[in-house]
Structures are given as C-alpha cells and as structure tokens.
C-alpha cells in the first residue's frame, strides 16, 4: 500500500471512529488503539504533506495561532429568537401563528446555553465556520471549529452546498475541569459554561480551543442545494445521517397545550442533562409555513424561545465551613438545610470571601434566599433579616489554615485570604507543578498528569519527596516504565546542582517571580542567609518593595516551610549561590534596559540575561529611570514612549557593540 493510500485509509477509518465515539457514543476500539492509528497518520502526513486530506482528523489538534479573526458576512442572517417568560406569551405566539397558518404543527427543542455558529460545506467538505456576531456579520473561526470532535469535517454525501446553524457549548464536567486548571495556574475563572465556551471558541490559538473539550448540537439548516427537505424533523434526521450531532426529537405537537407540556417536561429534566440549557424553543415544523410567516427585522415569526426563570429557594445557614483551593485561597462555604432547586438537591453554597459575607451580613443561623448562578453554582443572594431570633452567630475567618495549620494572610487590596504553607495538602499539586517547571528546578518528565499519578499512588506528597522517591517502583506504574524512571532520576539528580535563584523561585513564594528570585540570590549567598533576613533588609534591594519582602519573611516564618528546606539540603540540593557566577564586568552597573519588539539574533529573555551578566537591570515598562530601550522589529508603544521621554533607543547592532 502506498503512503497516499494508507493516509486515505487512516483518515476515513479515524473519522468513522470519531463519529462512533463522540456522536453515537458507541466506540468500536479502545483509546489506546485510536491513539496508535492517529500517531501513524501524523507521521505519514509529516513525511508526505502533499497527501494530507482536508478532512484529516489531525486537524482537530489545532494549528498555528492567528493574529485576528476575519469578518464573515452571513448570506442568511442569523437572527435571534423572540423570548417568552410565561404561558400567556406562548399562547399569544400560537394565536399569531394561527392567524396566518391553519392547523400548524409544532416541534419543541432544548435551548442550548452556548454560542451560535454557522458551518458551511461545499461538495461535502467543511470550508468555513463563523460566529453569529450581530446576526449580519460574524467572525471566521474555522480552525477552532475543526477541533470540535462532534463537527464532521466531511459529510456522508457530496452535497453541493450546505450551511447549518448550531450551538457550541461546554459540558458541565469540561467546565469544572477547565476552571480547576485555571485555578491551578492562578488565572481568572470562567463564571459559567456559556462564557467558557464563548471564550474558548474565540481563542486565536486553535490548540487552546482544542484542549477545552468543546461540543456542539446542530439545530437548523440555513441553506442547502441538491436536496429537497420539507420540514424541520426531516431536516434533523438528514443532518444526523450526514454525521452531525443533533438533539433529534421528532415528536409533532398539534396544539399549543401539548407544546407547553413538552416545555415543562424539558424543564423538569434539566438536572439530568450533562450540558446547560436556559429554555426551550417552539418552532413551526413545516418549511413552507415558515416562509409564509416570514420574519421581523429582529426575529422569525415561526419560532419563540421560552426562558426558564432563575429558581430561588429559602433555607437556613446551619454552619459556615472554610475550604482551601489549589492556590491556597480560603473560601467560606455555607452549610444549608437541604432544598431542591433547579432540579437538584442543594446543601452548600459558596460565600466567596469575607467581604461578601460582611456586605450581605450573613450569619450562622440566618434564613437566606439562594439561587443557582448559571444553573451550576448555588449562591446566597439575600438574607431575610426579619426572621432573626437573636441567636445567630457572626462568622470570622480562621487565622490558621484548616488543612495544614500554617498562617493565613490577607494582603492589602485583596479580598482573598491565603494559606502560606508549602506542604498544604490542598495546594500540593500546584506547588509541585511550579517547583519542577522549566524556569524553576527544570525537572523533565514531570508533567501535570504524571505528578497527579505519583501523588495519587502515594509516591510523593510534596516536591521534596522527589529526591527520595523509589524510581524502580514508580516505573511499575501504568504508562511509566523503566526508561521514563531512568530519565526522571537523571533529571532530578541534575536539578541538585541548579543555581540558588532557581530554588528560590521554585518555592512558589507569593509575589516572587524569577527576576525577584535572582535579586535575592544575588543579595543573600545562601538559603540560610535568606531565611534569617528581615523584611526591612530585603526591602533595601533595588526594585524590591515591602509587599514582596513581607511575603518572603512570612514564608520562612512557617515551620513546615523550614522543614521542607531542610529535607532539600539533606538530599543534596544546592542551597548556596554560585561564587563563580559573580559579576566581574560591571559595564551596565546602575543601568536599566527595556526590551521591546522582535530581535533577530536573540530571544528577549536571553538578551535580558546578558544585560544582567554585566550588572545591569531590565524592566518591563518605560519610565524616566530607563537608560536604554533596545528596540527590535514591530516595536510599539514602549518605543513611542521612549522617544517622547527622550530616552536613548538602541538597535540590536548597537547592543552587540555594547556587549563586545
């Protein structure tokens, strides 16, 4: 079999397995077998790129990032739907339809809470996908939509032209997993699955979109050539045959009472769904009837969306517990008398932080009103103060971490309170991930999934345990092996000789980035000197403020953090500065550089290291204290500001002359 024939065979086979797994939920092969076939296809396409098919499943991995999305003008406007909030409004819709159409047939569908998109196919091949935008003009998100495994890259039949409309969404489980990852990386969390889906679909880097677990339901044919379809239910059946994922409900409702009963049924099953809905949609089934009814400037007259109200319930706060997140943030949690809301039993609700509690004056024993924000997270929205008996208790946040006993700090200007313990079980995973990262101790073979597996199987509890690990036993874990264990052991041994600043940075002290760690390692020649230094001494370091200094002092005041350092010393990890790296050439002493634009011969980080090796400093912002601005190609606002302030701007060639 030629490479071209094998590529075509693998492409068809993998697309069929994708459809069986993600659309039909009926896999025929194991994940391991699928990954092996996909790996073979990737290698063949790399060796023979001219034979790669447009519908290759490798497209779902994501490609190069783009600088912006192109505009797309919709040939069929993507209108919004008229909204109804009561049965009377639904009955009024039915009356208007019956004034034009005799004996209409209705269909009722879930109103998916996501982001509406258009997908176009020519001769059965996906050519473009675009967001709704304002209904007339959207954005081209083709590469991101290709990463959604439930979107067919090639249809079953070679249809001359087809445009469909669907709703991209994120399942509840994918949403929770994404927010956990963002929390670990100390990035802002998404408020609800809809925002998460929208933010993921509009990522300029399709690899990020591919990692987010997006899904889609296709619910409408916008345009079609070469096939005659007369009604909505036949259209959905046809779309499913072509490989689309739909919520196929072919029940026909002859009366508005029947249709409204279906709306209520869908509302009652919301807690059983794995995706979010914010309503149900009634549509006239017959396409000819839709044409007769037509549209207003804003929405079609043949459909209406019933919006489910945000359900609220009254209950009692029996206690307030504190949970510790992966980044060490303490979050108060209300323990409630169990109530049923939005289809599920609720016995807990987040109280966010102490400011939220004080603002609403929430006390233990209070009667409160709760609702589900975005149908996911229960929240206390109101206190019924007239029900107070006088026996309610004012809540205070703990001064010690409930997980590990370390001090809890709240920094000026922040609502969050944080644990300062490096061995805190709640922060374990995030702390180890940071410790082994490239700019810290740089330990290869320790990706997040491997760390999680080692923690779950009891091999490590914190980063210091890496230096005492039984590598032979770890090699026996599924997916690891002797070669991985040998490489990991070598990488861990190598990390023992790292420069002191890497260790300081790897400790994950709040506010201490790589640059600040270098400043500390330069000022204090050993970890012991640093541990014994006062905040006032550290605050005297150039560009080292009191907040940073206090954070370091607080970190080393914790017993568990000192014990962690002692275990590293005992394992042979370097805890002293490298005297050989002391600066002999101070030509840039007292000089501050700002780097901007794209350099040809250096990465900006490498240029920064050269400047520091000559005793200089780098800064991320231009000010009157800046001495030089090293400007590469496409330098922007920093260059403009430097010119305005009269600061000397140097080229890469001039920089090279300065460092000769």
pLDDT tens profile 16-44: 887 776 666 577 776 667 767 887 888 88
CATH match for 73-307 among 3.40.50.300, 3.30.470.30, 3.40.50.720, 3.40.30.10: 3.30.470.30
Are the C-beta atoms of residues 106 and 257 closer than 8 Å to each other?
no
pLDDT (tens digit per residue) in 590-605 = 899 999 888 888 877 7
- Which pLDDT score is estimated for 463? 94
Q: What is the mean pLDDT of the segment spanning 182-201? A: 81
Between 113 and 35, the higher pLDDT residue? 113
pLDDT of 296 higher than 80: yes
Nearest residue to 597 (alpha-carbon basis) of 653, 547, 636: 636
Q: Which two tokens stand for residue 29?
A: 């092969």
Q: What is the mean pLDDT of the segment spanning 62-88? A: 83
- Which pLDDT score is estimated for 361? 95
Per CATH, the homologous superfamily of domain 592-659 is BRCT domain (3.40.50.10190)
For 425-579, give the CATH class.
mainly alpha
Domain with CATH 3.40.50.10190 in the chain: 592-659
pLDDT (tens digit per residue) in 137-173 = 999 999 999 999 999 999 999 999 999 999 999 998 8
Between 566 and 27, the higher pLDDT residue? 566
Domain with CATH 1.10.287.610 in the chain: 3-61
pLDDT of 290 higher than 60: yes
- Which pLDDT score is estimated for 342? 64
Task: Report DSSP letters for 17-65, one per residue.
Answer: HHIIIIIS---SS-HHHHHHHHHHHHHHHHH-GGG--TT-GGGGG----
pLDDT of 581 higher than 50: no
Are the C-beta atoms of residues 285 and 249 closer than 8 Å to each other?
no
Active site residue ranges: 111
- Which pLDDT score is estimated for 225? 93
- 591 to each of 605, 618, 625, 626, how far by Cα in Å? 17, 9, 9, 8
Q: Residue 623 forms beta bridges with which residues? A: none
Helix (H, G, I), strand (E, B) or coil at 377: strand
- Which pLDDT score is estimated for 152? 94
Q: What is the mean pLDDT of the segment spanning 626-638? A: 86
**What pTM does this model have?**
0.60
The share of the chain scoring above pLDDT 70, in percent, equals 95
For 3-61, give the CATH class.
mainly alpha
Nearest residue to 573 (alpha-carbon basis) of 488, 459, 492, 487: 492
Helix (H, G, I), strand (E, B) or coil at 372: strand
The least confident of 35-49, 51-65, 550-564, 627-641 is 51-65
Domain with CATH 3.30.470.30 in the chain: 73-307
Q: Check if CATH label 2.40.50.140 holds for domain 312-387.
A: yes
Task: Give the number of residues written for the chain.
Answer: 660
pLDDT of 583 higher than 70: no
Are the C-beta atoms of residues 167 and 217 closer than 8 Å to each other?
yes
Nearest residue to 218 (alpha-carbon basis) of 142, 307, 152: 152
Task: Report DSSP letters for 390-458, one per residue.
Answer: S--B-----SB-TTT--BEE--TT-S-EEE--TT-GGGHHHHHHHHHSTTTT--TT--HHHHHHHHHTT
Mean residue pLDDT across the chain = 88
Q: How many whole angstroms separate alpha carbon 11 and alpha carbon 3?
A: 12
């Amino acid at each position: 079999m030629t490479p071209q024939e094998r590529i075509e065979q693998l492409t068809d086979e993998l697309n069929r397995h994708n459809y069986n797994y993600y659309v039909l939920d009926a896999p025929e092969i194991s994940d391991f077998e699928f990954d092996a076939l996909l790996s073979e296809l990737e290698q063949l396409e790399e060796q023979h790129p001219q034979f790669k098919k447009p519908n290759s499943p490798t497209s779902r991995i994501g490609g190069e990032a783009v600088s912006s999305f192109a505009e797309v003008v919709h040939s069929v406007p993507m209108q919004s739907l008229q909204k109804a909030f009561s049965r009377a409004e639904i009955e009024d819709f039915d009356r208007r339809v019956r004034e034009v159409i005799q004996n209409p047939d209705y269909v009722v569908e879930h109103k998916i809470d996501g982001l509406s998109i258009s997908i176009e196919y020519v001769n059965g091949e996906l050519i473009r996908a675009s967001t709704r935008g304002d209904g007339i003009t959207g954005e081209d998100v083709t590469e991101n939509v290709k990463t959604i495994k439930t979107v067919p890259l090639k249809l079953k039949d070679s249809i001359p032209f087809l445009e469909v409309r669907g709703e991209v969404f994120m399942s509840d489980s994918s949403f929770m997993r994404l927010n956990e990852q963002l929390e670990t990386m100390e990035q802002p969390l998404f408020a609800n699955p809809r925002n998460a889906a929208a933010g993921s679909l509009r990522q300029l880097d399709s690899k990020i979109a591919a990692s987010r677990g997006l899904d889609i339901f296709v619910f409408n044919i916008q345009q079609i050539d070469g096939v005659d379809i007369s009604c909505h239910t036949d259209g959905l059946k046809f779309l499913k045959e072509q490989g689309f994922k739909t919520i196929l409900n072919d029940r026909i409702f002859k009366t508005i009472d029947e249709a409204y009963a279906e709306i209520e049924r869908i509302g009652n099953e919301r807690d059983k769904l794995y995706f979010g809905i914010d309503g149900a949609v009634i549509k006239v089934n017959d396409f000819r009837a839709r044409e007769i009814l037509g549209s207003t400037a804003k929405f079609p007259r043949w459909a209406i969306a019933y919006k489910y109200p945000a359900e609220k319930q009254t209950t009692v706060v029996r206690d307030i517990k504190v949970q510790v997140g992966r980044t060490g943030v303490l979050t108060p949690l209300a323990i409630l008398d169990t109530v049923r809301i939005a289809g599920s039993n609720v016995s807990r609700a987040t109280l966010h932080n102490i400011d939220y509690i004080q603002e609403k004056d929430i006390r233990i024993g209070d009667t409160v009103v709760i609702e589900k924000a975005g149908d996911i997270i229960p929240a206390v929205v109101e206190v019924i103060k007239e029900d107070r008996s006088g026996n309610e208790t004012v809540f205070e946040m703990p001064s010690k971490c409930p997980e590990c006993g370390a001090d809890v700090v709240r920094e000026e200007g922040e609502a969050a309170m944080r644990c300062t313990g490096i061995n805190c079980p709640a922060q374990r995973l995030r702390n180890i991930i940071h410790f082994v990262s490239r700019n810290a101790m740089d330990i290869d073979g320790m990706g997040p999934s491997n760390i999680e597996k080692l923690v779950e199987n009891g091999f490590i509890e914190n980063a210091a345990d890496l230096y005492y690990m039984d590598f032979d036993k770890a090699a026996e874990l599924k997916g690891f092996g002797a070669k991985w264990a040998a490489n990991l052991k070598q990488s861990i041994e190598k990390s023992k000789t790292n420069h002191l600043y890497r260790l300081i940075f790897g400790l994950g002290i709040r506010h201490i980035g790589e640059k600040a760690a270098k400043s500390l390692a330069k000022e204090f020649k050993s970890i012991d000197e640093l541990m014994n230094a006062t905040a006032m001494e550290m605050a005297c370091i150039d560009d080292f403020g009191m907040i940073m200094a206090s954070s370091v002092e607080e970190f080393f005041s914790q017993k568990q953090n000192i014990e962690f350092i002692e275990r590293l010393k005992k394992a042979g990890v370097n805890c002293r500065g490298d005297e050989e790296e002391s600066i002999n050439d101070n030509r840039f002493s007292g000089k501050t550089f700002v780097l901007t634009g794209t350099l040809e011969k250096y990465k900006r980080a490498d240029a920064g290291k050269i400047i520091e090796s000559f005793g200089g400093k780098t800064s991320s912002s231009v000010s009157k204290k800046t001495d030089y601005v090293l400007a590469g190609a496409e330098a922007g606002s920093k260059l403009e500001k430097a010119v305005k302030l009269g600061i000397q701007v140097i080229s890469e060639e001039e920089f090279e002359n300065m460092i000769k």
